[in-house]
Chains A and B, each alone.
Chain A
Amino acid sequence: MNNRNSKNKVFQRIKQTLKMHPVIIVLLALLIIFGSIYPDRFFSPINIKSILRQFVTLMLFALGPTFVVLTGSLDLSYVGVWMLGGVLVWMVKPILGIFAIIMIPVVGVTTGFLVGVIQTKAKIPSFILTLSLLMTYTGLAALLAEGYPRAVEGYEFITAPIIRYVPSTFLWTIPIIAAAIFFMKYTRICVYLNAIGSNEEGARLAGINVDKYKILAFMLSGGFTGVGAIILFQHLGGSAQMELKLNTLVWPLVAIVLGGTPLTGGSGGPQRTLLGAITFTIFYRGLYLSALHPTMVTLLVGVLLIVAIIISARGLKGVTVT
């Protein structure tokens, strides 16, 4: 009797979790599909290592913007922070030595603060603002680096192998994700960010300084992107990059939306982005192993984004906000 009761409870819990994170079902389905199509290749150490490597890139880029998406805005400046930060590291390395890497988070937080202030005071859509900023940063980075990717040495310890088959950057990523999830769940700041995304008028009536917390959201985004980009800097080759790739810009958005944080804000958070990033990476690696043409893969990723956006928007339909 007792046994059945506790079994029931476990079942209830699983049901609840699946309801909160329906993407888990997609994740399991993908694992089963790819696992049965090519069991050997998919679960080979090399592929798993590739999955982890790609996951790191995706996750660290997607983590910061998640906080902004929560409030119902959008922050696209993350790639710009990584690029401009990298160039600044290259520039100040001779002066600051190993501590030059601190430039990336500094750029991140400053950018966040600037975007937040401009967005709240001038009341411009954050999407277009951060997109323009991204362009500006790309240009600025190229200008400062005189147009060439600049290799910076001295940070190889970040990628130095610790455990076999597991990229070290993945290990470094874990505490960052944990910090973000803890921050999301246990601090009032994130409750307030959620409130703004859910019902801005209500947040105002509940005595929340909406403008201040919107600025904070962008600073958090910049901060997490900045810290993540320290790892990414070495992870993606240890040099200041010049070229803006569409994939690096769009994939993190796919991960956020796929994870279940709607672009309208009000629910979700880093824990969902984590799931989204894993799911997307599996999806991508699975397609990669199939001999599909890369352009076909790009097309499918685009379709996936559209589907994810539609589902995340429909998921809110049960709520009638009058």
Chain B
Amino acid sequence: MNDKLLEVKEVYKTFDEVVHALKGVSIEARKNEIVGVVGENGAGKSTLMKILVGVYSPDKGELYHKGKLVPFPGNPKEAAKRGISIVYQENGVIPWLKVYQFLFLGHEDKYIQFMTLQKDSMKQQACEILQELHVECDVDAFMHELPLSNQKMIEIARAILGVRLEREDSDTTPIIILDEPTAPLTDDECKELFRDLLKMKKNASFIFISHIIPEVMEYTDRVHVLRDGNLVAQYDLSKEKMTEEDLFRAIVGRKSSEYISRSGDSEALGEDTILSAKNLTKRGHFYDISFDLIRGSCIGFFGPAGSGKSRIIRTIAGLTNYDEGELTAKEQMLKPDELPHVRLSRGIGYFSGETGKELFLNWSLSKNISIINMEKILGKITRVIQFSAERKMAEKIVQKLEIKVPSVGTDCYSLSGGNKQKVSVGKWLERNPDILLLDDPTIGIDVGAREDIYQVLLEMKRNGISMILVSDEPKEYYILCNKIMFVMDGRIQKVLGPEEFRKVMST
């Protein structure tokens, strides 16, 4: 029997004539299964799903529904006719509605008699469908009173219900796309969600988008791996045996030629430890993280998304607290709940590559640089801002980093992504902290600008600034780090040197 429910063949999608989001991707969903679609940010997962639900239309490609060639849906309602519906990652729930109100939101017209809403029949229907899908909850409860996993299940139930109310004929099976449903959930809530999801497989098929490897491995039947708009691998997890690392390599895998050469180990490493952590733990995110950061060196935390690596760096920056363990910088205890400004006063700076996170876009370039270097531009006695000093400081940075701007008074929002990043990194160059935390320092900028940023960071490193790196880009670890810690499920699994790391990544 042909159990292919939905098949997409050779889909192409280009944005603005230059960004090739999808370059001929084919995937399929079979009856009563959970199929995983995994890939890094920007791999094309979301674009593909938006095509399936009719938000985007593809440039080229074919769609088969139950073996028949059909046109791509033009809007979500048409998609629902074929049984396709989506549950988005966040903001899908309206907290102040009751469960049954939320389930029928947008479909109330089917329950109106004598101009009034038939609440009793709605409630009864809601009970029935929730029972059928094995979701246990009170239909009279408010959405916000339920645990998050339950809320997610009700969202899924709502998607299935939507399909049932819209579909062409009654034997169309709902195909529900789940866009990273576990992102806002804790571990326990995830387990509950999947327990319920496995029961629901009888009633529907699921396309499960995620980049969290362990859950994909455990709960999906088959998995498609996307990278840079291509389908690079396809596994049948029930038949093939593979490890988490295999899948991870398939997701990030890069050719070894992409690694630029490391600029030798000429950097002067100090002797003293500048930051050390002992059994640092934040429950639900990471456990027993211990490391010693030597002055002038760089440690990288490497692992798939959801491994806890970004939590670790945000904890050191003071953006979140830790539960247990010890964190000391220059023999000073760093208390768990210190805020970023206290950490900065102890010499720990945090640099995030996400544009707009660090910069004040409606401000001039020079002000963006001086904001963390106020001490240097205040008058010695008067303590007032010296604008000439501010301008000189900014001009120095602009010249050094070759930032392309008409003047240092230019507003930051008019700069290109790469130049914005240079401004962000430039202010740290001037500040000269003891430790610089790098959170995805080159995300979203082009190759040329990347190389420039690396050069600046390497120079800072040579000048004795210690760094901790977290990134989605494996080669960054190779270029910058002296020690790479492999993190999986919130624990350090392995510690590698840069050469070893390169070997592991290129096989």
A209 touches B363 (CB 8 A): no
The answer to whether the Cβ of B117 comes within 8 Å of any Cβ in the partner chain is: no
- Check A258 for interface membership: any CB of B closer than 8 A: no
Question: In the complex, are the beta carbons of B340 and A205 less than 8 A apart?
Answer: yes
Q: Does the CB pair B340–A199 fall under 8 Å?
A: no
Interface presence of A276 (CB below 8 A)? no
Find residues 190-207 in chain A having any chain B CB closer than 8 Å to their own CB.
Answer: 191, 194-195, 198-199, 201-202, 204-207
Closest to B412 in A: A319
Are A316 and B362 neighbours in the complex by a CB distance under 8 Å? Answer: yes
Chain B residues, CB < 8 A from A186: 384-385
The residues of B that contact A206 with a CB separation of less than 8 Å are 344, 358, 371-372
The reply on A121 being an interface residue by CB < 8 A is no
Q: A186-B384, A187-B385 are contacts. A208–B355 as well, Cβ < 8 Å?
A: no
B361-A321 in contact (CB<8A): yes
A204 to B340, CA, bound (A): 7
B358 CB to nearest A CB, Å: 5
Q: Which bracket fits the contact residues of A?
A: 20 to 34
Interface membership of A266, Cβ < 8 A: yes
Q: Is A66 an interface residue (CB 8 A)?
A: no
Q: Does A267 contact B (CB under 8 A)?
A: yes
Q: Is the CB of A199 within 8 A of B359?
A: yes
Residue in B343, B350, B362 whose Cβ sees the most chain A Cβ within 10 Å:
B362
Pair B367/A191 contact, Cβ less than 8 Å: yes
Please name all residues of chain A whose beta carbon is closer than 8 Å to the beta carbon of B362 when the two chains form the complex. Answer: 198, 266-267, 316, 319
| A 298-322 contacts with B by CB, 8 A | 316, 318-322
B237 to chain A, nearest CB (A): 36
- Whether B334 is near chain A, meaning CB under 8 Å from some CB there, is no
Query: In the assembly, what is the distance between CA of A198 and CA of B356, in Å?
Result: 11
> What is the bound-complex CA distance between A316 and B360, given in angstroms?
13
In angstroms, Cα B413 to Cα A198, docked, is 12
Across the two chains, which residue of chain A brings its CB closest to B345? A207
Interface flags, B337-352, vs A, CB<8A=1, else 0: 0011101110001101
Is the C-beta of A185 less than 8 angstroms from some C-beta in chain B?
yes
Asked whether, in the complex, the Cβ of A207 is within 8 Å of the Cβ of B360, the reply is no
Is there a chain A Cβ closer than 8 Å to B250's Cβ?
Answer: no
Q: Measured between alpha carbons, how far is A207 from B358 in the docked complex, in Å?
A: 11
Nearest chain B CB to A300 CB, angstrom units: 31
Give complex CA distance A266, B370 in Å: 16
Chain A positions within 8 Å of B319 at CB level:
204
Residue of B nearest to A198 (CB): B360
Q: Tell me whether B385 and A199 are in contact (CB under 8 A).
A: no
Within the complex, the shortest CB–CB distance from A312 to chain B, in Å, comes to 12
B360 touches which one: A187, A195, A204, A320 (CB < 8 A)? A195
A199 contacts which of B345, B356, B372 (Cβ < 8 Å)? B356
- CB-contact partner of B341 in A198, A209, A266, A320, under 8 A: A209
B380 in the interface, Cβ–Cβ < 8 Å? no
Task: Mark A200-240 against chain B: 1 for CB-CB distance below 8 A, else 0.
Answer: 01101111110000000000000000000000000000000
B357 contacts A by Cβ under 8 Å = yes
Q: In chain B, residues 316-351, which have Cβ atoms closer than 8 Å to a Cβ of chain A?
A: 317, 319, 339-341, 343-345, 349-350
Asked if B378 lies at the interface with its beta carbon under 8 angstroms from chain A, I say: yes
Is residue B93 within 8 Å, beta carbon to beta carbon, of the partner chain?
no
Asked if B269 lies at the interface with its beta carbon under 8 angstroms from chain A, I say no
Verify B385–A201 contact, CB threshold 8 A.
no
B374, A191: Cβ atoms under 8 Å? yes
Please tell me which one of the listed residues A185, A194, A205, A321 contacts residue B385 in the complex, with CB atoms under 8 A apart: A185
Among A188, A267, A318, the one with the most B-chain Cβ atoms within 10 Å of its Cβ is A188
On chain A, the residues within 8 Å of B383 by CB distance are 187
Distance A201 CA – B349 CA, assembled complex (angstroms): 14
Name A105-124 residues within 8 Å CB distance of B: none
List B contacts of A267 (CB < 8 A): 362
Q: Which residues of A contact B339 (CB under 8 A)?
A: 204, 209
| 0 or 1 for each of A163-201: is its CB under 8 Å from B? (1 = yes) | 000000000000000000000011110010011001101
Contacting pair A320 B413 (CB below 8 A): yes
Cβ A202 vs Cβ B358 within 8 A: yes
Residue contact B413 to A318, C-beta cutoff 8 Å: yes
Contact A191 B413 (CB under 8 A): no
Nearest CB in chain A: distance from B431 CB, A: 9
Chain A residues contacting B359 (CB-CB under 8 Å) are 199, 202
Q: Indicate the member of B340, B343, B371, B378 with the most A CB atoms within 10 Å.
A: B371
A322 and B356 in contact, given A188-B378, A188-B385, A191-B367 (Cβ under 8 angstroms): yes
Residues of B within 8 A of A320 (CB): 356, 361, 413
A316 to B371, CA, bound (A): 21
Which single residue of chain B is at the shortest CB-CB distance from A202? B358
Provide the residues of chain B in CB contact with A207, threshold 8 Å.
340-341, 343-345, 349, 372
Bound complex: CA A199 to CA B357 (Å): 8
CB-CB under 8 A from B378, the residues of chain A are 188
Shortest Cβ distance from residue A69 to the other chain B in the assembled complex, whole angstroms? 15
Complexed CA–CA distance, A195 and B359 (Å) = 9
Identity of the chain B residue whose Cβ is nearest the Cβ of A322 in the assembled complex: B356
List the A residue with the shortest CB-CB distance to B390.
A191
Contacts of A202 on B, CB cut-off 8 Å?
A: 356-360
Pick the most buried of B339, B357, B360, B413: most chain A CB atoms within 10 A of its CB. B360
- Chain A contacts for B350, CB-based, 8 A: 205
Contact B385 A319 (CB under 8 A): no
Residue of B nearest to A182 (CB): B384
A195 B361 Cβ-Cβ under 8 A = no
Q: Are B361 and A205 neighbours in the complex by a CB distance under 8 Å? A: no
Question: How distant is B297 from chain A, measured CB to nearest CB, in Å?
Answer: 23
* Closest Cβ neighbor of A211 among chain B residues: B339
Q: Least Cβ distance of B370 to chain A in Å? A: 8
Chain A neighbourhood of B317, CB < 8 A: 205
Q: How far is the CB of B409 from chain A (nearest CB, A)?
A: 9
Task: Report the minimum CB–CB distance from A214 to chain B (whole Å).
Answer: 13
Chain A residues positioned under 8 Å from B363 (CB to CB): 194, 198
A320, B350: Cα distance in complex, Å: 23
A199 touches B352 (CB 8 A): no
Interface residues of B (CB under 8 A from A): 317, 319, 339-341, 343-345, 349-350, 352, 355-363, 367, 370-372, 374, 378, 383-385, 413
- Chosen A-B contacts, 15 in total, with CB atoms closer than 8 Å, are A191-B370, A191-B374, A198-B360, A199-B359, A199-B360, A202-B358, A206-B344, A207-B343, A207-B372, A209-B341, A267-B362, A316-B362, A318-B413, A319-B361, A322-B356
What are the 3 tightest A-B residue pairs by CB atom distance, in nearest-first order?
A: A207-B344, A186-B384, A198-B360
Known: A191-B385, A202-B356. 19 other contacts (CB 8 A): A187-B383, A187-B385, A188-B378, A195-B360, A195-B371, A198-B362, A201-B357, A202-B359, A202-B360, A204-B319, A204-B339, A204-B341, A205-B358, A207-B341, A207-B372, A209-B341, A318-B413, A322-B355, A322-B356
